[in-house]
Chains A and B, each alone.
Chain A
Amino acid sequence: MKILVGYKRVVDYNVRIQVKPDGTGVVTDGVKLSANPFDDIALEEALRLREKGVATEVVVVGIGPADLTAHLRNGLAMGANRAIHVVTADAVQPLTAARVFLKLIEKEQPGLVVLGKQAIDDDANQTGQMLAALWDRPQATFASKVEITDGKATVTREVDAGLEVIEAELPAVITTDLRLNEPRFIKLPDIMKAKSKPIDSIELGSLGVEAHDHLKTTHYAAPAKRSKGVMVKDAAELVAALKQKGLL
């Protein structure tokens, strides 16, 4: 079985995001970029399935500009067999990303597609669900445990009410939550090995998908700040303050 993994590059999660004063975007110049943390978890899960013998090949997929290859090399160094680079200079929204994945699925015929539940830049949390709809296949979102047996995935999902277990016939789309696994670190010899692994580049336009801006972002703003609070010296003072506010 082949597994496709979405591997998006985003502003590193440790970067403190600054909104540009003119409201046209956030500052990304010179900012550290890394793999979306949920995508690292997706890749790790795919690699573990290959190591267990459930999967035979893991393919990482990135959509982005020409310099995305360095990022895809990291996915290869982590252990993916090969990479597909869908080349576009434009930012791609979730519906477009889902349409791109559908085209790749038609070509690659994977048994499983594993994506992060959301990217930590746009926080949309849509691509996996949209892909599953377009593909007309099961979706198992927010996965914290995955077992593959007899052509089906048994997935534990982190939902508001607790942990939900569902069964999904393969092929299917799984999106990862934080507790699914802890991604491995990339070792130096693996970086060397990754240099000889193949990256296929495909122009987005050649897939017959348009990078259409379905939603237009007209303004960026910094969030409203909470006003500076006060410190109290002991428990009695805290209780008094809360009683005064009518909260206790």
Chain B
Amino acid sequence: MSKILVIAEHLGDKLNSSTARAVSAAAAVKPDTIDVLVLSDAPDAIAAEAAKIDGVSRVLTVARPENVHALAAVLAPQIAKAAAGYSHVFVPSTTFGKDVAPRVAALLGVAQVSDVMSVEAAHSFKRPIYAGNAIITVEADANHTVVATIRSASWAAAGNAASSAPIEALAIDNVTLPTHTRFVELKQGSSDRPDLQSAGKVVSGGRGVGSKENFEIIYKFADRIGAAVGASRAAVDAGYVPSEMQVGQTGKIIAPELYMAIGISGAIQHLTGIKDAGTIVAINKDGEAPIFEIADIGLVGDLFKLIPELEQALG
């Protein structure tokens, strides 16, 4: 029977919602147990949050000073040890999971299933290839541990449990952690806006916005409707906004209830990042822009004229 270890993603002492999404994917395997592993210098607050996720059997913590930053080279040997006895190791398919999971798989000598969209059976999964232009069903060897990353946009976060799961400290012995890789700093834009990856509403701007200064109109409108702000690759490359705002195949893949693409033409790589959104709205002055092919609601016109009109129509 299946026993699944889900690796918690966190930044500082905050649990990332991608963890609860990975738990949803784990639940789809219908396993006997789902344990969540928290690796941190100070895991208590994170573990307490993880223990509240519905479906979690136990939360295991590894508290080591080396785990203060999520360095794959440091975390992977610990995860590989902790994986003993589990049939599956699930990791969110975020930059955290994409970095660490293949390192774990290689230490275990197994393949990895990347970006799991659906669970067909305990060892059969669907995942996207060619930027989501084809969906394949892959079968992993049932004789080995399955290491998989879970495509967050395909899974709703598991809800809160009626009572918290037990939290246990896990002793991982006989692991030498490397010192060859060192954290220097994290440059983070400070923002009071909703988190792009978990927001219910997202407003994104593209090249059509024209400049860093003009992007204020996007921020202002997003704030008005309580949305997170994203951007196309073109807008990031042009320096209008920082890279962590990029939505698309190589940026963030998101599934908000409402996605508004403003001044974005809709390159295939961008569409890959948004096609699981509930409702897609496109505003673009070019009525032939590819974004209109996947938009649920389209409006052709000048964004600098239309956004103030939208604000006015909101009342």
Contact = CB atoms under 8 A, between A and B. Distances in A.
B114 A236 contact: no
Given A126-B102, A235-B299, A168 B180 contact: yes
B258 A93 contact: no
B76 interface: yes
A223 B275 contact: yes
A231 B279 CA distance: 13
Nearest to A175: B99
A123 B186 CA distance: 26
Interface stretch (A106-114, A155-163, A194-202): A155-163
A144 B242 CA distance: 12
B225 interface: yes
A52 interface: no
Nearest to B188: A162
A23 B133 CA distance: 13
Contacts of B104: 133
A242 to B, nearest CB: 7
Contacts of A178: 233, 237, 250
Contacts of A216: 138-139
A165 B107 contact: no
Contact of A141 (B72, B110, B249, B297): B72
B295 interface: yes
Interface stretch (B42-50, B156-164, B305-313): B305-313
Contact of A160 (B197, B257, B281): B197
14 contacts: A26-B130, A159-B186, A161-B244, A178-B233, A216-B138, A217-B136, A220-B136, A221-B137, A223-B135, A231-B297, A232-B297, A234-B309, A235-B309, A236-B309
Interface of B: 11, 71-73, 76, 94-96, 98-107, 109-115, 124, 128-141, 178, 180-189, 197, 201, 225, 233, 236-237, 242-244, 249-250, 252, 257-258, 275, 278-281, 292, 294-301, 306, 309-310, 312-314
Given A129-B102, A163-B242, A234-B309, 15 more contacts: A19-B133, A95-B106, A121-B130, A127-B102, A129-B106, A132-B73, A140-B181, A142-B95, A160-B252, A162-B243, A165-B184, A215-B111, A216-B138, A235-B313, A236-B313
